[in-house]
Chains A and B, each alone.
Chain A
Amino acid sequence: MNWTSSDIDQRLDTMADALRQRLEQGGIQDFAMVGIHSGGVWVAEALRQRLSDEIPLGTLDISFYRDDFTHRGLHPNVKPSQLPFEVEGTHIVLVDDVLMTGRTIRAAMNELFDFGRPASIVLVALFDIGHRQLPICADICGQTLALPPHQRVELRGPAPLAADIIEMTPA
Chain B
Amino acid sequence: MIHSPPSANIQLTADGRLKHFLSVEGLPRSLLEEILDGAASFVEVGGRSIKKVPLLRGKTVVNLFFEPSTRTRSTFELAAKRLSADVLNIDIAKSATSKGETLMDMLWNLEAMASDMFIVRHSDSGAPFFIANHVTPQVAVINAGDGRHAHPTQAMLDMYTIRHYKGGFEGLKVAIIGDVLHSRVARSQIHALNILGAEEVRVIAPKTLLPTDIESLGVSVHTDLASGLRDVDVVIALRLQKERMDSALLPSEGEFYRLYGLNNERLRPAKPDAIIMHPGPINRGVEIASEVADGPRSVILHQVTFGIAVRMAVMSMSISGQESGL
Contact = CB atoms under 8 A, between A and B. Distances in A.
Contacts of A71: 320, 323-324
Q: Which secondary structure characterizes the binding site on chain B? A: helix
B53 A64 contact: yes
Interface of A: 61, 63-65, 69-74, 76-82, 110-111, 114-116
Nearest to B84: A64
B49 interface: yes
22 contacts: A64-B45, A65-B53, A69-B316, A70-B323, A72-B320, A72-B324, A73-B17, A73-B320, A74-B38, A77-B37, A78-B38, A78-B40, A78-B41, A80-B40, A80-B43, A80-B44, A81-B41, A82-B44, A110-B54, A111-B53, A114-B52, A115-B50
A65 to B, nearest CB: 6
Contacts of A80: 40-41, 43-44
Contacts of A115: 48-50
Contacts of B40: 78, 80
Interface string B219-254: 000000000000000000000000000000000000
A34 to B, nearest CB: 15
B155 interface: no
Nearest to B49: A115
B14 to A, nearest CB: 14
Contacts of B85: none
B53 A70 contact: no
Contacts, number: 57
A72 to B, nearest CB: 7
B41 A61 contact: yes
Contact of B34 (A65, A70, A76): A76
A107 to B, nearest CB: 9
Interface of B: 17, 34, 37-38, 40-41, 43-45, 48-50, 52-55, 313, 316-317, 319-321, 323-324
A65 B54 contact: yes
B37 A76 contact: yes
Nearest to A81: B44
A63 B321 CA distance: 16
- Among A77, A79, A114, A115, residue most surrounded by chain B Cβ atoms (within 10 Å): A114
A115 B51 CA distance: 9
A130 B44 CA distance: 33
Nearest to A70: B323
A122 to B, nearest CB: 23
Contacts of B54: 64-65, 110
B38 to A, nearest CB: 6
Nearest to A110: B54
Nearest to A62: B53
B44 A70 contact: no
Given A64-B45, A110-B54, A115-B50, A73 B324 contact: yes
B37 A70 contact: no
A70 B320 CA distance: 5
A69 B55 contact: yes
Contacts of A110: 54
A69 B321 CA distance: 10
Nearest to B53: A64
